[in-house]
Structure 1
């Protein structure tokens, strides 16, 4: 666990022993760890050199641990600085590579991925490496993974990366999808929905996009996808996303200034996105009657006689 701080397994085991005791001699460490006295002496010497241990005053043959928040925090900070510098170097080298690649051959701007494994790995890397925002169009029926399997998005959300995701209505009706969607929204995902989407697509930081080249393989055609680097094509894909996003219905649980609580706003947003009552009830694990009762409550609150009037009132009063 402490390898990130530059400790080997033997060093970590020895350091943990010192933390648990008031001090230990090489022979005691050797007995506890099941190693030779010489090996214990070497690992203690290494801990001394790294500032993780010190000699007990007045007992030159005994060693004690330096406090972890003093010894390890500084090492981790230095490691983080090294990682940040390495990341900057990678970004610089990537920029140089792309600049030269464009001069060598325009075809370098688009790379064709020809397997599900390659596409899955690329999607993982894009989300792991994203620093600002990821936008995506999600159609019903998964190609390489379900939304529930996309753990990289949740990890990216937790470290502060923005996500704007546009869902096809039929996708929201798939089993488990609304629960998964709610988890993402709680972590900061902005979600909207449209009845249908023209293409699957994901773009990370406005610099790298991926979209399948064949939408429906039917098991007969090999999956192929395009990895699109900065170009006029990528700009067109970004514009497509923004145009669809502007027309889509928001799906969410909370909004500053909204008079609705999170649960009612989420229910209303799903209703206006066109998700059937039965699908909402099934996925949220409540009865269809409960869903209808909550919708009736919203209609009464809005003074609406129909669901269309409810939608009009919600838009006028900024409920979404």
Structure 2
């Protein structure tokens, strides 16, 4: 309806009817909506004050609706001015709040979030996002709920989410189901062996940071970071980690492991990481060099790697091969 423009529910009903029917007699409007004369009089006063309706001097009186695009735009501009004024008041209240909490000297940098408000703050910051949310998913967890409903709602409304998951966090019970729901809603996700901090950045204008904890330890100090050089540095950190993290495609197992590859593919990776040339690998596997090149390209596509160097790194991250596997091969161990 039109409550967002300052109309009551009844005012909205009356104006909807008039906009669709045009000039109408007051008594007929009341009959159509089941409203008494006294009730309708009060509603019409409100609509007239807002410039949406004109009451004629005819007998019986008639109602003439104002054009929605003109009258509505005027109301919209008025509401926007009110919201801007409210935003200015909120800035003043924020300064007073920070001063009262003893963070006056740091008010332009950061604010320690009280423990009892962590879950609320975490949700509120996401719901204020208009464009993008960036996050590192690792312990400590700031909410008890299994699913981040604020993220799902924001993804539905068009806010972009990019998340980097800590590998240990992805191994927790129920993690795969949650990640699938986020991915289906539109989240872009990657994984890294170990994330340095818990991080949430909203529209690159505000952030929450918490030092990571291992296991199920409770969060320690959680800090809200305001716009400035520190927030810019955290945003740059996210982008660096994002660039080096392993992409997670929808439906791709998060913890791939060796079970994802055949024995021949694992042996090919070991030979490649041992430093052998393509010709030498082809001789070892008793296949042609072109076959080796094709299989390496297939592995790169599977891992989302753009170079052989990145393939080696991601093979280690995914658990396809380990350092001990390479050392065993180089020492002349089992092929």
Interval containing the TM-score (normalised by the shorter chain): 0.5 to 0.7
1:8 deviates by 1.5
Aligned to 1:197: 195
In 2: Cα distance, 1:72 partner to 1:131 partner: 24
In 1: Cα distance, 2:147 partner to 2:61 partner: 56
Q: Secondary structure, in 3 states, of the residue corresponding to 1:38? A: helix
In 1: Cα distance, 2:104 partner to 2:114 partner: 21
Structure 1: give runs of 5+ residues left out of the alignment: 253-265, 279-287, 293-299
In 2: Cα distance, 1:313 partner to 1:229 partner: 35
Aligned to 1:121: 120
Asked if the contact 2:112–2:221 (Cα under 8 Å) also holds between the matched residues in 1, the reply is: no
In 2: Cα distance, 1:206 partner to 1:157 partner: 20
Q: Secondary structure, in 3 states, of the residue corresponding to 2:61? A: strand
Q: Structure 1 58/33 Cα, relative in aligned 2: closer, same or farther at 3 Å? A: closer
Q: Secondary structure, in 3 states, of the residue corresponding to 1:137? A: strand
* Higher gyration radius (CA): 2
Q: Secondary structure, in 3 states, of the residue corresponding to 1:304? A: helix
In 1: Cα distance, 2:76 partner to 2:191 partner: 42
The total of aligned residue pairs comes to 276
Aligned to 1:165: 163
Asked if the contact 2:200–2:209 (Cα under 8 Å) also holds between the matched residues in 1, the reply is: yes
Structure 2: give runs of 5+ residues left out of the alignment: 263-290, 311-335
Matched, 1:247 2:248: no
Deviations 1:256-311 (A, max 9, x none): xxxxxxxxxx56xx46x644699xxxxxxxxx9xx99xxxxxxx9x8216974555
| TM-score after normalising by structure 1 | 0.63
Q: Secondary structure, in 3 states, of the residue corresponding to 1:315? A: coil
Matched, 1:180 2:181: yes
Aligned to 2:42: 42
Asked if the contact 1:134–1:202 (Cα under 8 Å) also holds between the matched residues in 2, the reply is: yes
| TM-score after normalising by structure 2 | 0.60
Cα root mean square deviation, aligned: 4.7
Residue of structure 1 aligned with 2:208, choices 207, 210, 223: 210
1:45 deviates by 3.3
Asked if the contact 2:140–2:212 (Cα under 8 Å) also holds between the matched residues in 1, the reply is: no
